[in-house]
Amino acid sequence: MRNYPRILYPLLLCVSLILFRTEPVSAVSIREILGLNPVAETENDPIQGKATTTATPAKEAESKPVAPGAGEGATADKNTWAKPEEGTQQSQKGLEFDYIQNLISNLGQDQRKAVLDDKQKFRQFVQSEADNRSVISAAMANKLDRDGNTLFLMQRGAENILRESYMNRLLIAKIPADFPNDQQVKDYYDKNKDRFVIGKRVHVWQIFLPMGKDMDNKTKVALRKEAETIITDISKGKYDFAAAALKHSKHEASQYNGGYMGLIKVADLIPGIENPLLALQEGTLSKPIETEAGLHILKRGAVVDEQQVELKQVDAQVRRLLRQQVVAQLRKSIFEQASKSYPIDLEDNRVEEWRLKLRTSQDTKPNNPAD
């Protein structure tokens, strides 16, 4: 096992558990590998619209301590995971300006500005790193830095960082800073206009009555009769479509919105719905349409024909796509060239021998409670 200078242990220990058993990561993941995430911030969940808080690695570690001696033979003191072993000397190194400076320099430009422009955020950033260092000190005091598997994980983490640093330097050197330029974006758009088209859409209202596969015929007949009655009542003005949807529809998403399903792509309509829906005149009702899900009473709104999205609307999307493509291509080329320049011979027989040996050893290995 290769030995590393002791000063490297805190860095390698932090990253090892994140990096082990991973595929090659993206070319912009060095900050994630190092654990240099921004200070916890509250933001809106893009799906649920709820406020969420992203924890820093230090806070995550703080909330889920792992006891080095947990399990059989562990001491009764629940806090032993944070105490040095008996007879060891605790080695705790404080934070220095140069160390914080290196951390800050590895943040993204926007994150760096946000942290440095706000006194409280910067304080939280430094405190988070202090918490990290305290946990590392506890781990070293408990001699975890001398554990063979931990040393292997640390080595694996260091090698991953080295690989990605090398990758990023090559990518920065090979990809022009202004790539893609305006002409390259326009050329891609012109050659791929069919990718930037919004298909035909239609405004749809619905009253839905579910009909399960296990429903008996008598119940199905009654449900079909109910659907016909609803259509008759709306046609006679007993109540409008919105009131009927609120009273009868079992589709919750539209039930409380007057039955309105939204502006739906025709291509996304479920089988059996498209033809009868588009055959309706705008504002008219369909007869009950039966699908595998149940009965649908539809009202058709305006149809929006297929539309070509203009370049200015997708400019940022195209730039991002082109850059992702060139990064992926270059990374693949780097791996291929490195494999040719520094080949590692993998004989099939030898690899199969490894597999069989490992499978046998894993089959006889006791289950890990953490698995």
Tell me the per-residue pLDDT of 276-295, one tens digit each, with 9 for 90 and over.
999 999 999 999 999 989 99
With beta carbons less than 8 A apart as the criterion, state whether 322 and 188 touch. yes
Tell whether 291 and 265 lie within a shared domain.
yes
Whether 17 maps to a domain, the answer reads: yes
Distance separating alpha carbons of residues 41 and 124, to the nearest angstrom: 11
Distance separating alpha carbons of residues 346 and 308, to the nearest angstrom: 51
The number of C-alpha atoms within 13 Å of 129 and in the hemisphere containing its C-beta is: 23
Tell whether 91 and 20 lie within a shared domain.
yes
What does the pLDDT look like over 200-220, one tens digit per residue?
999 999 999 999 888 889 999
- Average of per-residue pLDDT across 25-46: 42
With beta carbons less than 8 A apart as the criterion, state whether 81 and 62 touch. no
Tell whether 181 and 326 lie within a shared domain.
yes
Whether 75 maps to a domain, the answer reads: no
Tell whether 11 and 93 lie within a shared domain.
yes
Q: State the angle between helix axes of 148-174 and 9-19 in degrees (0 to 180), rounded to the nearest 10.
A: 80
Tell whether 169 and 212 lie within a shared domain.
no
Whether 331 maps to a domain, the answer reads: yes
Query: For residue 331, what are its two tokens?
Result: 């990374």
3-state secondary structure of 199: coil
Whether 207 maps to a domain, the answer reads: yes
Q: Please state whether the peptide bond connecting residue 180 to the residue before it is cis, i.e. omega within 30 degrees of 0.
A: yes
Tell whether 167 and 271 lie within a shared domain.
no
More confident residue, 27 or 163: 163
Tell whether 260 and 337 lie within a shared domain.
no
Provide the 8-state DSSP code for 8.
G
- Interior angle at CA 218, CA 213 and CA 224, nearest 5: 80
With beta carbons less than 8 A apart as the criterion, state whether 142 and 66 touch. no
More confident residue, 217 or 370: 217
> How many domains would you assign to the chain?
3
Q: Where residue 239 sits, what CATH number does that domain have?
A: 3.10.50.40
Tell whether 162 and 49 lie within a shared domain.
yes
Backbone angles phi, psi at 217, to 5 degrees: -60, -40
DSSP per-residue string spanning 137-193: HHHHHTTGGG-HHHHHHHHHHHHHHHHHHHHHHHHHHHS-TT-S-HHHHHHHHHHTG
Tell whether 54 and 98 lie within a shared domain.
yes
The pLDDT value given to residue 5: 46
Query: Residue 301's closest CA among 272, 264, 275?
Result: 264
Whether 370 maps to a domain, the answer reads: no
Query: 300: part of which helix (H) or strand (E)?
Result: strand 294-304
Tell whether 94 and 213 lie within a shared domain.
no
Tell whether 36 and 143 lie within a shared domain.
yes
Question: Could you say which of 139, 174, 209 is where a domain stops?
Answer: 174
More confident residue, 78 or 287: 287
Question: Could you say which of 290, 308, 326 is where a domain stops?
Answer: 308
Tell whether 294 and 331 lie within a shared domain.
no
- Average of per-residue pLDDT across 85-108: 76
Q: pLDDT band at residue 31, thresholds of 50, 70 and 90? A: very low
Distance separating alpha carbons of residues 262 and 117, to the nearest angstrom: 43
Whether 133 maps to a domain, the answer reads: yes
Q: What is the pTM of this model?
A: 0.56
Residues in Cβ contact with 146 at an 8 Å cutoff, skipping those fewer than 6 apart: none
The neighbour count for residue 242, using CB atoms within 10 Å, is 18
Whether 74 maps to a domain, the answer reads: no
Question: Could you say which of 140, 174, 208 is where a domain stops?
Answer: 174
Full residue range of the structural domain in which residue 212 is found: 197-308
The answer to whether residue 322 scores a pLDDT higher than 90 is: yes
Give the dihedral sign, CA 157/165/130/95: positive
Whether 365 maps to a domain, the answer reads: no
